[in-house]
Amino acid sequence: MTAGGPAGPPPAWFSHELCFWHDPGAGSGHLPVGPGVEPLRQFAVDPDLRRAEGLVRLSGVLDRFTRHTPAPAPDADLLLVHTRAHVDRVEATSARGGDAGVYAPAGHHSAAAARLAVGACTAAVREVLAGGHRRAYCLVRPPGHHAEPDRAMGLCLFNNLAVATRVAQRNGARRVLVVDLDVHHGNGLQRVFWEDPDVCYVSLHQDGLFPPASGTAAETGSGAGAGTTVNVPLPAGTGHGGYLAAMESVVVPAARAFAPDLVLVAAGLDAGAHDPMGRMMATSRTFHSVVTSLCELADELCAGRIVLAHEGGYSAWYQPTLLLAVAAAVAGLPAPDDPFLHSLENLPGQRVAAHQRRVLDHLRTHHPLLSAAAVAS
Ligand code: ZN
């Protein structure tokens, strides 16, 4: 890969206006209006996503992509992961407004947006596996990684990347690596693939954030899938150095040990230093470095095939800059200017700390996938 962009066809960009219309109603933060909750806005309201795409367009980086407009995912795709009752519940809740599960508010356009989010990810996977593109980015909402087969959770209605993984496996990619960068743990992705030896789920998340008690280092899969779940519960306050160390000492060796046919990335931006939902210190440089590494891993391991999908990301002012950094990395461009960077880089927490290193060392020596790789090398 060169600074001018990856060899081969241009990367693909999937987005749909209706994903930006997803609006579960009046609320504040992650709660609807109620006793003690004054109306402001819910995090799941996403005009910010349109603003973020606007910055990518203004920078010229979007011109490096081929634009695609996704179609809604049909029931046949949703039912590869979800139960019929779950799909019906999401549709019904969306029609009347309310909570479709656990902290999963839905409103008038939500079910349609959720089907488009899945449809973007499945279309991207099909394009990449057919050779039309090597890399793809899906700017979608609602997010997906908390959604379980029978339960909506944490702003997620359908599990976008879980469905995309099953579609990939029906289109020639037997072994799929799913790397989750969202600051929360992707309990839905973990649950779907818990016993699947052909899907490796690797999650970098803030230790103990959400869901409660989910995503510990001891959760490594079971049955035929034993050893193919890799949780990296990073301590709150982890910044640029900690994320790069996690990539180098856990994600890269886990990916090489697993040897995927396709890489999918749950590209949440809520580990960003200004995010109201997380307590991490990642910057645009962090996301650019991590996504560049993942693209290079895909180049090395599976002919460059990689699909990234947006998940969380709730800082009104910093998310656009983070998205621009991710888009630049996917396009093979250098890290873009970041007017916020100087102040963040001068805060404590950007260098890897001993208590963060201990988590990585523990995984390297105890996780079945990593300790086996260490013995083999
Ligand atoms: Zn999140």
- Alpha-carbon distance 129 to 177, whole Å? 14
Question: Domain segments of the chain: what residues?
Answer: 12-22+41-376
Please say whether the beta carbons of 169 and 257 come within 8 A: no
Q: Which residue has the tokens 């180049």?
A: 299
C-alpha 312 – ligand 1 centre gap (Å): 4
Per-residue confidence (pLDDT) for residue 5, from 0 to 100? 46
Tokens of 312: 């969380």
Give the distance (Å) from ligand 1 centre to CA of residue 142. Answer: 11
Distance 154 CA to ligand 1 centre (A): 8
pTM of structure: 0.96
Who surrounds ion ligand 1 at CB < 5 A? Answer: 182, 184, 268, 270, 312
Angle among Cα 28, 33, 34 to the nearest 5 degrees reads 130
Digit-coded pLDDT (tens) for 102-155: 999 999 899 999 999 999 999 999 999 999 999 999 999 999 999 999 999 999
Out of 3.40.50.11540, 3.40.800.20, 3.30.360.10, 3.30.110.60, select the CATH number for domain 12-22+41-376: 3.40.800.20
**Cα dihedral value 321, 324, 326, 329, nearest 10:** -130
d(CA 94, CA 175): 34
- Model confidence pLDDT, tens digit, residues 233-257: 999 999 999 999 999 999 999 999 9
Distance 184 CA to ligand 1 centre (A): 4
Q: Are 178 and 193 in contact (CB under 8 A)?
A: yes
Predicted pLDDT at 4 = 37
Q: pLDDT of 169-216, one tens digit each?
A: 999 999 999 999 999 999 999 999 999 999 999 999 999 999 999 999
Instruction: Kindly give the interhelix angle for 110-130 and 160-169, rounded to the nearest 10 degrees.
Output: 30
Q: Give catalytic residues, as residue numbers.
A: 146
Cα-Cα-Cα-Cα torsion 48, 289, 66, 47, nearest 10 degrees, comes to 0
